[in-house]
Amino acid sequence: MTETTPADARPLPIRDASIRLGQALKLAALVEDGAMARDVVQDGLVTVNGAVETRRGAQLKDGDVVEFHGEAVVIEAGSAD
């Protein structure tokens, strides 16, 4: 893990080189559905690499850290089955 990766961040394996923020939130089970993803992102409740991200369609890549509601995941591109 990098210096900016929280020690308790769990890996989130994805197949492709990138994933949209809303999709990552759903895949990580941090939100229940796309509507909830839209709401929490627009409300500024999600951070990516320590900065608030308000674009649900923001592209995440390998090593990016997403945090919401006290939970963190780190994107692992190209590692999903």
Task: Give tens-digit pLDDT for 9-35.
Answer: 999 999 999 999 999 999 999 999 999
Q: Does domain 10-77 have CATH number 3.40.50.300?
A: no
Please state the domain extents for the chain: 10-77
Considering only CA atoms, which of 42, 36, 43 is closest in space to residue 55? 42
Name the pLDDT band for 6 (thresholds 50, 70, 90): confident
Task: Give tens-digit pLDDT for 33-70.
Answer: 999 999 999 999 999 999 999 999 999 999 999 999 99
